Structure 1
């Protein structure tokens, strides 16, 4: 394991040194069979690379005056069509809320490469039609208002910028399989840029996306950044801080903690599916995080002391998403339509189980105690059991109706009638984990279900909710139809009894509506029960029967 820091004098003009020039992650089939399979799904074929169409190229410049502005110029191939249709997405994968990013576009114009003006009109709320006059390519220029500090939108500040692909880069409606190339033109005092896309050799702050999906899935940080690197089993990781970092923030401890989390993920999954990964840590007023294929964008309060347990859990949650959602995903997410949000009943698996492991793996990595894990589980149970929405909306429906009627974080539903699949999905994970262990006398657990799902359904395959249930039944060796009906598909009260018995726990007696759901080890718990609870939060143990 190693830790390095870039020099502060700007001598490194990109966040990633040159030795990470575009290359595919190695396929280590003999060591990591599951991750080798993932890599095969993600590698483009030689034929597809050779037949790749001409890329759309972008240059981006930044200004910070009274308004925060990014100026974008795109050269768009037309294949000599008389007109082309351009668009910006209306939503971002992983953030289940309709956001029309075109609302922030100003002064869009189109010209030939020789400078002749072309007719460009708004044909839909997020589309533009450009009359090309038969030219093989057109130059489209526009300004973006960048003053929204969320994990899906853009911000430009005096010392740094955050760009999200879906909110930034206009593309051809039919060009999602086309390469896209970006060049950032930074102000003189901005030293670095960071992005999960492979850099273009010989060009500072330039990146290439194999297709539009990769571009949307790769946020960009640029400016006066603090960059630290660490290595886990040959995979390079970067912690990139942007914004005002207070003296109370301990960056050494943050890097050490992230390294422990990555090591735990490596043990859990049997390998890592990328050759580099970025933790983009932005200090500003808003909070939250969003997962991407080999990076995450984290928002941290400028006054943050720490890193705190909540920051570790957030980083762990988003890193777990690099496997569960980015590689292993519902079939409805196999092909994204950026103008039509998808619907699935499986978000409790993609988000709820990720939230469960986002807390559990922090404890397994030794960053927090087993008692902390029980406190977090207790708080989640109390949140659900004190929510009237639990009697009106199921996990199935909270997933399916997230765009308009859910209480899952992005589009706030009526809390008296809705639930959060993050919250109830986490609890479902805790209960399902115990149920599988109970059914197999501790030989199997939910970890085995996740690894088996990854082996069978990751990449281009995808899974259905029924297939996930069948996997859980296969690992448990018993029928789970009634458990899934009650826990996932109905609004009946959850049954905690099996989980409590397996781990030797009880809910502490109290008249307080929160304290009454406090998970407490029983004074008469057997040695076997105590050992099961210890094993739950101990470093990952691997089953030898993952196929």
Structure 2
């Protein structure tokens, strides 16, 4: 869509940093043609993050006027207000937003950096959501070296990026986050599409050229995945990566023409690092995040659940398809790193084994299906507690293994692959809303058989997936290895200061012994009578020192200031898996995306 003339906009937002130290943005909202008693509201969630975050809790000092006359405001509920305005006369609202959340989901402002999503700052003008919207970024009061960046279309913008931007509607406005500050900037062209990359918080050692080259390889691989040689059919004509490098952090949120990312500063590529061979684990994690969020450009931002045809910003938007949109994206993110030659076969299989073990070590996989997990995201996935691992399964990790099983099954048939299914879905749904029935129809069309039973078992059931059989057909042996002691016991621990229990796995030796989340494991007692000994534990590895090969002891635990003695007896029944290559030709046919017929 071409640029819209500023005069055609009816809703405009002017955003400036009111107070860096107080972390306050000031927003001036101008509605050229308001309705009588105009209603405005702030979203309660942001698409891509399925939790009610109640952004209105940070909005304050809301005022309204028409001309020089104040207008009365009535709050209707937790996130909406009625402005008692006259129809047709320009209405101006001013308000402040507190911004001190460093995640990719909300807003941040301090003396070093600013960032915001429109869902946190921009009130929705009811009845005018589909009219053109204008965003004006004001540099008043900011350090002179600060810049601004967003994927919105520039109208009248300074060299530093401040000025007027245009959105076709409210959805596009709030789907285009804004970065403010002094950041590194680079760009590249992938399949004829210009991509920009900005990085905040990067140290002097940061190797921007390597990050650009590797990201370019990812983007080209993913554009080829979706469109083959017809790259001109890609839906995005420009794209912006926005990365915030922190001491400790990780996360990403997809948007149609951009993504907001967070990584550990130590995970950035550094000058002088070897570029031959496997990248570091931290840098691989960052590349996987970039691959994941860019894949969402197609899968969830455009090809999306039918329930997301039009977002309802005032309440939960339920779907049972997050296993497809997040899980399948999680399958392809690492696979496409391999196809972009950024990691080798061994590295890919290591990542895949880690995902398999994460699912197998989740007792909740036998309680909750990934379809249920998708619907329950609003109350379970984003609100995890000590029992989450026992009651839920991740639609990311198990969803990615469902994709793996489908891909390997399709390839073994010799007729098609999951690559072809994804492309056919894109064409069938015209890059728009889809249902599970669409997926089933494409699977049947391309493979010549129904996959209804497989989806019923793998997606709507809780039985384990046939991973070992399917991987064997593609040159991979699944081998078991001894489990770490915590896994044998069924415990997840925090050992930073002593031994604190975070989770007790269902049916484990620790649960049978009576361990509970929050316990502090102080020591162990061994033997009986005169041979009895008591030992202080500083870390779990001390257990082997005091017990040797014995798998029985009395655990000394502190809970609510009480000292308890728990009888613990365990066996090495938990066996993590590793993946070993048995047929390199079959493996490469799969990983390279070739037919395995």
TM-score normalised per structure 2:
0.77
Distance 1:381 1:304 in 2: 24
2:587 aligns with 533
Cα distance in 2 between the residues matched to 1:542 and 1:63: 58
Distance 2:260 2:268 in 1: 19
Deviation at 1:154, TM superposition (A): 0.2
- Is residue 442 of structure 2 the alignment partner of residue 488 of structure 1? no
For residue 45 of structure 2, the aligned residue among 59, 82, 91 is 91
Pairs within 5 Å for 1:146-545: 146-186=99-139, 187-201=142-156, 204-242=162-200, 244-270=201-227, 271=231, 272-284=234-246, 285-306=248-269, 308-405=283-380, 407=381, 409=382, 414-439=388-413, 441=414, 443-460=415-432, 462-512=433-483, 516-522=576-582, 525=583, 530-538=584-592
**Residue equivalent to 2:21:** 66
2:576 aligned counterpart, secondary structure = helix
Give the CA deviation at 1:198.
Answer: 0.6
Aligned-pair CA distance for 1:176: 1.6
Give the C-alpha shift of residue 63 in structure 1.
3.8
Does structure 1 conserve the Cα–Cα contact (< 8 Å) formed by 2:292 and 2:329? yes
CA RMSD of aligned residues (A): 2.2
Cα-to-partner distance string for 1:316-346 (whole Å, 9 max, x where unaligned): 0000000011111111111111002211111
Mapped to 2, the partners of 1:261 and 1:495 lie a distance apart of 30
Q: CA deviation at 1:536?
A: 2.5
Counterpart secondary structure, 1:489: coil
Distance 1:280 1:542, change over 3 A: farther
Q: C-alpha distance in 2, partners of 1:251/1:294?
A: 21
CA distance in 1, matches of 2:475, 2:124: 56
The secondary structure found in structure 2 opposite 1:290 is strand
| Distance change (3 Å), C-alpha of 1:410 and 1:367 | farther
Task: Give the drift of 1:286.
Answer: 3.1
> Shift of residue 59 of structure 1?
0.8
Cα 1:343/1:65, change in 2 over 3 Å? closer
Flag the 1:395–1:155 CA change in 2: closer, same or farther, 3 A. same
Residues 39-60 of structure 1: per-residue CA shift (max 9 Å, x gap): xxxxxxxxxx89x975211111
SS in 2 for 1:416: helix
Q: Work out the CA distance in 1 between the residues paired with 2:451 and 2:299.
A: 22
Show structure 1 runs of 5+ residues with no match.
1-21, 25-48
Partners of 1:88 and 1:542 lie apart in 2 by 49
Task: Indicate the SS of the match to 2:434.
Answer: coil
The 3 A distance-change label for structure 1 pair 488 and 90 is: same
Contact 1:149 1:286 in 2 (8 A): no
Larger RCO (CA under 8 A, 6+ residues apart):
1
Detail structure 1 runs of 4+ shifted over 4 Å in the superposition.
409-413, 540-543
Pair 1:210–1:366, CA change in 2 (3 A): same
Task: Kindly indicate whether the alpha-carbon contact (under 8 Å) linking 1:353 and 1:429 is maintained by their aligned counterparts in 2.
Answer: yes
TM-score (norm 1): 0.84
Shift of 1:479: 2.0
Distance 1:534-1:423 versus aligned 2 partners, 3 A rule = same
Secondary structure of 1:323 counterpart: coil
Larger gyration radius, structure 1 or structure 2: 2
1:23 maps to 2:2:
yes
* Displacement after TM superposition at 1:152 (Å): 1.1
User: Cα offset for 1:535?
Assistant: 2.4
Q: Unpaired segments of 5 or more residues in structure 2?
A: 270-281, 488-573
